[in-house]
Structure 1
Amino acid sequence: MTPHVRPSSRALRRMQTRERILGAAIAEFRIAGMAGADVNAIVTAAGVAHGTFFFHFPSKEHVLLELESREEARMAAEFTRFLDVRHDLTTVLTEVVGLVTRLEERFGPVLFKEILALHFSPTRPNRDEWTDHPLIVLLVREIERARGDGAGDHPEVDAFYSAAFFLLGIYGVLTTTTNSKTRDTMLAQHVASVRRGLTMKEN
């Protein structure tokens, strides 16, 4: 067993500085968006020198990457706990809708859209594979499990593309529709539509 190594006081201060910068940047992004965010305002709020921001984050995009990574891990952990109890696929898809909508509530519409824009940007720093995104991995696994149970038996179903299409649909509704009742209706219809697509057989 590897012994637990406590970080040095210098490393601890560096971590604390990074957290202050991240928190100040998120607050600024909520108001102005990433493009409009003022680095001077961020470092002033964090109480650090201008160059310290770029020591920890090479660009403003890297702040969003850090935030995205943390939130994905948090959502995946919550989803994993939910999946500790067996659920039917409709319930699983509905829970994913809840995870994403709660994320938008936590971020606010401006920051939420910034995260999505960066996530799908062709110029995104550190491009990665879908397997690097734990929420997608878990959803793909559940779709495959449902197919194995006979709940999703369309012969042409691809679990990854089904998961990706489902998540894109949620993002599309949340970023283009502001009326809460209309949103709820559209999201429920999206769940039902994807669920039917996973079970419908070709004639």
Structure 2
Amino acid sequence: MAVVDKPSAREAKRLQTRERLMGAAIAEFKRSGIAEADVGAIVAAAGVAHGTFFFHFPTKQHVLLELERREEERIAKQLGRYADSKRSLPEILAEAVRLVLGLERRLGAVLFKDFLALHFSQHRPADESNEHPVIVRVAQEIERAQQAGRVAADVSPMNSAVFFLLGLYALLTTTHDWPTQSAMLDDYVARTLRGIEAR
């Protein structure tokens, strides 16, 4: 059995402060949106000094990057568990849509729009990670279907996963209040599958 070192008291306190700031920032973003969010309100809610926010997060966008990292990891794990129960590619893509819609409900419309806008921002803070776990998991499932002969041999699983998720995010950003959104998402999944299936 491996021994896991416990963080020092100082490190534990730093992590607690970071989590309080993260929670307060997310609550403020849900209320006001990231552009209008007040760092003063965030630090007051977290019970820390003003400069403490910038010690943990250089900008408000860095909070959103951290939220994005956590949510992508969570969705990728849930999607992986679902896919590992021997689901078909159509079921897996539909589940990916369901999980992202669940994220929208949890974050609320204002924060979700900011969350998705970060993907398309030219001013996105540098992200050291080149891996997006949801894209990677969807690509793995497309590749698995390809190996089973259900996806065309000339399809790039990674490119297809990127196209699928970016298209999904764009649809969710632009059709939030449309009464036809659900049918449109079903059609989007069906057309994605038609575009990559083996003939």
Same fold (TM over 0.5): yes
TM range (shorter): over 0.9
Q: Look up the SS of the partner of 2:35 in the other structure.
A: helix
Partner of 1:59: 59
One-letter identity of the residue aligned with 1:166: F
Runs of 4+ that moved beyond 6 A: none
CA–CA distance in 1 between the matches of 2:181 and 2:159?
Answer: 23
Partner of 1:165: 163
CA–CA distance in 2 between the matches of 1:96 and 1:184?
Answer: 14
Partner of 1:32: 32
Structure 2 matches for 1:10-159, cutoff 5 A?
A: 10-127=10-127, 132-153=131-152, 155-159=153-157
Please, which runs of 5 or more residues in structure 1 have no aligned partner? Answer: none
Partner of 2:3: 3
CA–CA distance in 1 between the matches of 2:55 and 2:8?
Answer: 19
> How many correspondences in the alignment?
199
How far did residue 20 of structure 1 move? Answer: 0.6
Q: Look up the SS of the partner of 1:36 in the other structure.
A: coil
Q: Look up the SS of the partner of 1:168 in the other structure.
A: helix
How far did residue 122 of structure 1 move? Answer: 2.6
Please, which runs of 5 or more residues in structure 2 have no aligned partner? Answer: none
CA–CA distance in 1 between the matches of 2:58 and 2:180?
Answer: 40
CA–CA distance in 2 between the matches of 1:112 and 1:181?
Answer: 18
Q: TM-score, normalised by structure 1?
A: 0.92
Q: TM-score, normalised by structure 2?
A: 0.94
